[in-house]
């Protein structure tokens, strides 16, 4: 595992600021409430996802598909433009590495990462690392379980007798985070992370990344003789968190964190020269003074596809009705004819209110392919309405009756359109189409 040397500079300060924003968001976001409800939570046992006061269900999986596609296209688009900025500035692997390094340097000082560091100090460091790993794992599990309930259960006397299932997940992620930060680190970025493997496919000569200006720097100072601007101080190498030499060219291990930029800026500043390492494109390194071509074929393709996904997702969300309705013909009771020539069909209905408000929903027949009026019985009553509490579901039975005229007898199945509407909010409505079958005796 590489323990890089600490370096200060403008980029390091900017990254500290970004991490000071990201870490509180990660740790405290599950504790936020939207009213009396979770701000964000993936409730797997109840198969619901809470986000900004909205409730999503697995039946709306296309939102997840659009989200994943959008994230992938955003990754392609921004990597094409500004390289691995995600890896160096916002990736949890990088953010937690900086957090763990800060703890190590605070406790051990200049002895951090060295073999002669005091044992007691190393024990304190690893103890704090384990503590932070527990907090990080608990924060992660809090996105799937209510953190307030977790605290209450931890305080209860029955916690150690029969621990909840989420305690095992916290233990697993604690061990995973600790082993990763204490022993793996840059090996994950270089050999495990898939993004590192295919970044070269998305980047080209006009992508902005951490680049070494070899035209100015080479040949490096050697045996006291300096031809290029590079003094061969190797500070860019010792500050690199993945242990690569940026002067050898774009490397799969480079996470574009910019620590080498600060190091070279400091060294070149002593020489009264501009830094040899910076955020630039390869074209700018080959042709000093040239500008970055932001608009090019691959950026246009990725940007257009990303825009299409965003428009599709935005349109679906704007027109979304937070109500799920499933109406299916009863498989046990078949369509029948009752005295008077009335044909009766039975349905099992399931309504899921995806808001936090109690709603009284009316169910009415909007139109049908039948040539006669359709009478509806809802829940065994003559009143075609039913109440569904907020964030709750209701199962009930629907009975449809009609007297088919001779033209209808020649069709085996008809279609009926139901309109489900909130009595207090006419805009809260959903349309469902169900089949209406004529029994054999009527054919």
Q: Is the pLDDT of residue 389 over 80?
A: yes
Q: Smallest Cα–Cα separation from 29: which of 134, 137, 140, 132?
A: 140
Q: What is the C-alpha separation between 73 and 302, in angstroms, rounded?
A: 6
Determine whether 400 is exposed, middle or buried from the number of CB atoms within 10 Å of its CB (0-12, 13-18, 19+): buried
Question: Per residue in 315-346, pLDDT tens?
Answer: 999 999 999 999 999 988 988 888 888 899 99
Q: In the prediction, which pLDDT does 277 show?
A: 94
Contact (CB, 8 A) for 113 and 243: no
The string of pLDDT tens digits covering residues 329-388 is: 998 898 888 888 889 999 999 999 999 999 999 998 988 888 888 888 886 566 678 889
195-249 pLDDT, tens digit each: 877 777 788 888 999 999 988 888 888 766 777 889 889 999 999 999 999 998 8
Residue 92: pLDDT above 90? yes
Instruction: Give the per-residue pLDDT at 442.
Output: 47
- Per residue in 136-147, pLDDT tens? 999 999 999 999
Q: What is the DSSP string of 374-399?
A: -EEEETTBS--EEEE-TT-EEEEEEE
Task: Give me the pLDDT at residue 224, please.
Answer: 67
Structure-token match 């080959």, residue found: 286
Q: Which helix (H) or strand (E) holds 299?
A: helix 297-318
Model pLDDT for residues 178-191, shown as the tens digit of each residue: 999 999 998 998 88
Q: Interhelix angle for 147-155 vs 119-141, to 10°? A: 120
pLDDT score of 189? 87
Express as a percent the part of the chain with pLDDT over 90: 56
Residue matched to tokens 């100072």: 221
3-state secondary structure of 48: strand
pLDDT confidence band for 1 (50 / 70 / 90): confident
| pLDDT band at residue 409 under the 50/70/90 scheme | low
> Dihedral of the CA atoms 389, 391, 392, 398 (nearest 10)?
70
Note the pLDDT tens digit of each residue in 261-306.
999 999 999 989 999 999 998 888 888 888 888 999 999 999 999 9
HEC string for 126-181? HHHHHHHHHHHHHHHHCCCCCHHHHHHHHHCCCCCCCCCCHHHHHHHHHHHHHHHH
pLDDT at 443 over 60: no
The answer to whether residue 149 scores a pLDDT higher than 70 is: yes
- Predicted pLDDT at 133: 97
Percentage above 70 pLDDT, the chain:
97
Distances (CA, A) of 36 to 31, 145, 322, 375: 11, 15, 18, 41
| pLDDT higher than 80, residue 18 | yes
Q: How far is 164 from 144, CA to CA, in rounded Å?
A: 13
CA distance 97 to 87: 12
Q: Which residue has the tokens 């300096």?
A: 226
Q: What is the mean pLDDT of residues 23-50?
A: 92
């Amino acid at each position: 595992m590489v323990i890089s040397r600490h370096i200060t500079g403008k980029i390091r300060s900017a990254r500290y600021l970004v991490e000071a924003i990201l870490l509180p968001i990660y740790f405290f976001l599950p504790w936020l409430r939207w009213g009396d409800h979770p701000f964000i939570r993936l409730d797997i046992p109840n198969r619901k996802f809470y986000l900004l006061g909205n409730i999503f269900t697995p039946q709306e999986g296309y939102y997840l598909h659009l989200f994943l596609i959008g994230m992938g296209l955003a990754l392609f688009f921004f990597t094409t433009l500004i390289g691995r900025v995600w890896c160096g500035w916002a990736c949890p692997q990088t953010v937690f590495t900086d957090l763990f390094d800060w703890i190590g340097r605070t406790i051990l000082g200049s002895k951090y990462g060295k073999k002669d560091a005091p044992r007691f100090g190393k024990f304190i460091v690893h103890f704090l690392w384990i503590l932070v790993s527990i907090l990080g794992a608990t924060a992660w599990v809090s996105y799937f379980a209510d953190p307030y309930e977790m605290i209450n259960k931890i305080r209860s006397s029955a916690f150690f007798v029969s621990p909840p299932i989420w305690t095992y997940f916290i233990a697993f992620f604690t061990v995973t985070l600790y082993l990763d930060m204490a022993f793996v680190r840059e090996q994950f970025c270089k050999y495990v992370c898939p993004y590192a493997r295919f970044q070269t496919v998305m980047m080209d000569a006009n992508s902005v990344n951490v680049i070494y200006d070899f035209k100015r720097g080479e040949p490096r100072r050697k045996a006291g003789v300096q031809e290029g601007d590079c003094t061969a101080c190797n500070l860019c190498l010792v500050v690199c968190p993945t242990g690569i030499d940026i002067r050898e060219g774009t490397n799969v291990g480079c996470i574009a964190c910019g620590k080498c930029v600060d190091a070279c800026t400091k060294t070149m500043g002593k020489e009264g020269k501009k830094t040899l390492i910076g955020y630039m494109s390869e074209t700018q390194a080959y042709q000093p003074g040239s500008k970055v071509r932001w608009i090019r074929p691959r950026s246009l393709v990725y940007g257009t596809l990303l825009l299409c996904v965003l428009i599709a997702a935005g349109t679906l969300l704007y027109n979304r009705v937070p109500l799920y309705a499933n109406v299916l013909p009863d498989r046990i009771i078949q369509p029948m004819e009752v005295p008077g020539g009335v044909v009766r069909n039975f349905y099992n209905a399931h309504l899921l209110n995806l808001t936090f408000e109690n709603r009284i929903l009316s169910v009415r027949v909007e139109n049908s392919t039948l040539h006669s009026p359709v009478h509806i019985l809802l829940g065994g009553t003559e009143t075609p309405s039913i109440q569904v509490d907020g964030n709750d579901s209701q199962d009930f039975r629907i009975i449809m009756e009609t007297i088919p005229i001779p033209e209808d007898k020649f069709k085996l199945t008809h279609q009926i359109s139901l309109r489900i509407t909130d009595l207090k909010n006419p805009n809260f409505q959903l349309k469902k189409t169900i089949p209406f079958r004529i029994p054999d005796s009527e054919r």
